[in-house]
Chains A and B, each alone.
Chain A
Amino acid sequence: EVQLVESGGGLVQPGRSLKLSCAASGFTFSDYNMAWVRQAPTKGLEWVASISYGGSNTHYGDSVKGRFTISRDNAKSTLYLQMDSLRSEDTATYYCARLYSSYIGYYFDYWGQGVMVTVSS
Chain B
Amino acid sequence: DIVLTQAPLSVSVTPGESASISCRSSKSLLSSKGITSLYWYLQKPGKSPQLLIYRMSNLASGVPDRFSGSGSETDFTLKISKVETEDVGVYYCAQFLEYPYTFGAGTKLELK
Interfacial residues, chain A to chain B (CB-CB below 8 A)? 35, 44-47, 50, 59, 61-62, 95, 103-109, 111-114
Contact = CB atoms under 8 A, between A and B. Distances in A.
Contacts of B49: 45, 95, 108, 111
> Which of B55, B100, B103 has the largest count of A CB atoms less than 10 A from its CB?
B100
Contact of A107 (B33, B50, B54, B105): B54
> Which of A45, A61, A108, A112 has the largest count of B CB atoms less than 10 A from its CB?
A45
A103 B100 CA distance: 19
Range class of the B interface residue count: 20 to 34
Contact of B48 (A35, A95, A105): A95
A44 B105 contact: yes
A23 to B, nearest CB: 15
Nearest to A61: B100
Given A44-B92, A45-B92, A47-B103, A105 B37 contact: yes
